[in-house]
Chains A and B, each alone.
Chain A
Amino acid sequence: MLLLAVSMIASLSIGSAGLSFLDVWGILLGQLTGMPEGAEWTAGEIAVVTQVRLSRVLLDILVGACLALAGAGFQGVLRNPLADPYTLGVASGSSVGAAAIILFGLQLALGLWTIPLVAFGTGIVTLLGVIWLSRSRGVMQIETLILSGVIIQSFLGAFVSLMVSMSEGVVNQILFWIMGSLAMKSWEHVYMLVPFVCVAMPVLLAYSQALNLFSLGERHAANLGVRVERTKLVVMIMSTLLTAAAVSVSGVIGFVGLVVPHLIRLIVGPDYRLIIPISAIGGGIFMLWADTLARNVLSPKELPLGVVTALIGAPFFAYLLHRKMKLEGGVGG
């Protein structure tokens, strides 16, 4: 929590507009206390801080929290260390929707929200398709579920590639969306993500002890009174809602949902009652720093966010894993 606050303060203060630390906080305090008239800052500077930077910082945190929460949920319910928010094809589904919209030039058909809405919708439909494929006699087999996800993912991935190759003129736009970015976003995007986190996080927390029992095996969990099928469905749907919401706002940002829950697990142990809330905070911090780097390293040019998350996440993860293996002589669940 403390780390999150410090990161927010630091990230808010770093930027390409040439404002100092004191300027930024003077503006913020001025806005909060409602005394803008005595201010020595221009309207433009105030806008940079309140409209651009503050909303982007909050959006970083929310997208990171969504992806890390979804990753923790999927890893818990699929009991597979390679599971991430995109395993079940949600991201590919969203990408197909977004790519189609861009290809046919329909970005403004439903106003500013066209791409997020369509991406969200196609992401959810994809998950339903995967669940439908892997269900037999009311039971979802985990292995079949993962396989169905992989198959749908490659199938839809081919569609995206097809659309990219068909649209010579707007290739960059589709690729740019897929690579993920949090540039050019506004407060509306922040407001859009808040309800998802507010609903999904308590639900996932309520199921966190059930996820602990899942790690002993589905039968063990069932014998202790966990309703296995309902738990799987609820956790998957919540994780998918989080993923689809994050992807529809930011595009496909990799690595966060896979690695942050693992990092947290290496630090706090296998208890999902800790992993879930701390992953949310950790995902927020991780994304905040990644995006702060992305927009400042080659300022004023921005790096693709997915590139940064992988570049700083992978070495850190490798270090923690190596240290843990040296300490305990094995990784273990």
Chain B
Amino acid sequence: MSMLAEKIWAERQGAPVLNGVSYEFRMNRFYGIIGPNGVGKSTLLHILSGVDAPSRGVVSLDGQPISDIAGKTLARRLAVLQQGGLPAVGFSVREVVAMGRFPHQNWLGGEASDPEPIIEEALSVMGLAELQNRKLHQLSGGERQRVALAKLMVQQPDILLLDEPTTYLDIGYQIGLLDTVRAWQQEKGLLVIAVLHDLNLAAMYADELIALHKGSIAAAGTPEEVMDPLIIEDMYGTRTIMIKHPVSGAPQLMLQPGARSGHTDRRV
């Protein structure tokens, strides 16, 4: 099973964002999409999720174009964690998590088997059992992000798309969230594609990094291959120092004040 993006073109308000991006995503892998602001990372993720259509190109799941797969059928296989998380609605934690069962329900809202154990498990894995009757608008941003992830768990997908899941979270929540995702990914053999702003987090969790720059893939491969100071400087216009993580050995970037490179076209 795999997900294939073929020559994806996309525009945003008339301006080209993606110029023929192609990539094959395989199951049981964690992909990190990195790149500067406004480069079309989220646009690519929206297209991979099947919600937005590319202006040209095809995304297919096992050879079948996702535009041909009906909404609920697709949602049983593919789940998305939206950028910005869940809004502060008046539903309780448990009600929102249970909404993840929607793609498994018939039009009367019934299911073939009782979903309660699935919901209970997701609540306990995410440490939400005690918060389950609280309303969403009474929770903090970090707690809401855990609710969003629990909702994805009960959706029971094979493919997980995460759009900047750690933005606005403190470092404790960032590590907690990505640890949970990775444990889940390894247990079920999921395909995870995450847009990540933080390059060091991306290098620690992803099996493969895809660097988007100027509408196409500037570099792709293992974190060691992509986290090359020259590639990073070319994309972000700043010189960095690469070191190895003392425990895991993952490549980690150190920033240098005043090290803006002269030869790029970036202006701040």
Please list the residues of chain A having a beta carbon within 8 angstroms of any beta carbon in chain B.
Answer: 206, 209-210, 212-213, 215-217, 219-220, 222-227, 269-271, 273, 328, 330, 332-333
Give the residues in chain A near B155, CB-CB below 8 Å.
224
Complex CA distance for A270 and B105, rounded to whole angstroms: 20
Instruction: Let me know if B58 is at the binding interface, CB within 8 A.
Output: no
Within B46-71, the residues touching A (CB, 8 Å) are 46, 49, 51, 70-71
Q: A224-B155, A225-B75, A269-B90 are in contact. Are A332 and B137 (CB under 8 A)?
A: yes
B58 → chain A closest CB, angstroms: 19
B155 → chain A closest CB, angstroms: 7
Instruction: Tell me if A's interface is mostly helix, strand, loop or mixed.
Output: loop
Give the residues in chain A near B141, CB-CB below 8 Å.
none
Complex CA distance for A130 and B82, rounded to whole angstroms: 30
Q: When the two chains form the complex, which single residue of B70, B76, B88, B105 contacts A333, counting CB atoms closer than 8 Å?
A: B88
Q: When the two chains form the complex, which single residue of A224, A271, A333 contacts B102, counting CB atoms closer than 8 Å?
A: A224
Q: A225-B102, A273-B109 are in contact. Are A220 and B91 (CB under 8 A)?
A: no
B73-87 interface bits toward A, Cβ cutoff 8 Å, 1 = contact, 0 = none: 111100110100011
Give the residues in chain B near A328, CB-CB below 8 Å.
135, 138
Q: A224-B102, A225-B75, A273-B109 are in contact. Are A333 and B90 (CB under 8 A)?
A: yes
Give the residues in chain B near A270, CB-CB below 8 Å.
89-91
Complex CA distance for A225 and B104, rounded to whole angstroms: 10
In the complex, the chain B residue whose C-beta lies closest to that of A265 is B90
CB distance A219 to B82 under 8 Å?
yes
CB distance B51 to A271 under 8 Å?
no
Q: When the two chains form the complex, which single residue of B82, B91, B107, B109 contacts A217, counting CB atoms closer than 8 Å?
A: B82
Instruction: Let me know if B188 is at the binding interface, CB within 8 A.
Output: no
Complex CA distance for A213 and B107, rounded to whole angstroms: 14
A215 → chain B closest CB, angstroms: 5
Greatest chain B CB density within 10 A among A206, A209, A216, A226 is at A216
Top 8 nearest A-B pairs (CB, nearest first) are: A225-B75, A225-B72, A333-B89, A225-B71, A332-B137, A223-B80, A225-B103, A270-B90
Instruction: Let me know if B100 is at the binding interface, CB within 8 A.
Output: yes
B48 → chain A closest CB, angstroms: 11
Give the residues in chain A near B107, CB-CB below 8 Å.
206
B11 → chain A closest CB, angstroms: 11
Complex CA distance for A215 and B89, rounded to whole angstroms: 7
Q: When the two chains form the complex, which single residue of A220, A227, A269 contacts B82, counting CB atoms closer than 8 Å?
A: A220
CB distance A225 to B74 under 8 Å?
yes
Give the residues in chain B near A332, CB-CB below 8 Å.
88-90, 135, 137
Complex CA distance for A131 and B137, rounded to whole angstroms: 32
Give the residues in chain A near B135, CB-CB below 8 Å.
328, 332
CB distance B51 to A216 under 8 Å?
no
Complex CA distance for A226 and B76, rounded to whole angstroms: 12
Q: When the two chains form the complex, which single residue of A222, A224, A226, A271 contacts B91, counting CB atoms closer than 8 Å?
A: A271
Give the residues in chain A near B255, CB-CB below 8 Å.
none
What would be 28 A-B contacts, judged by CB atoms less than 8 Å apart? A209-B102, A210-B102, A212-B91, A213-B99, A215-B87, A215-B89, A216-B87, A216-B96, A217-B82, A217-B87, A222-B51, A222-B71, A223-B75, A223-B80, A224-B99, A224-B102, A225-B70, A225-B72, A225-B73, A225-B75, A226-B102, A270-B91, A271-B91, A273-B109, A332-B88, A332-B135, A333-B87, A333-B137
Instruction: Let me know if B224 is at the binding interface, CB within 8 A.
Output: no
Complex CA distance for A225 and B102, rounded to whole angstroms: 8
Instruction: Given contacts A227-B71, A332-B89, list 11 more A-B pairs with CB under 8 A.
Output: A215-B91, A216-B86, A223-B82, A224-B102, A225-B70, A225-B74, A225-B76, A328-B135, A330-B137, A332-B90, A332-B135
Instruction: Let me know if B143 is at the binding interface, CB within 8 A.
Output: no
CB distance B99 to A223 under 8 Å?
no
Complex CA distance for A85 and B89, rounded to whole angstroms: 23
Q: A223-B75, A224-B75, A225-B71 are in contact. Are A216 and B102 (CB under 8 A)?
A: no
In the complex, the chain B residue whose C-beta lies closest to that of A330 is B137
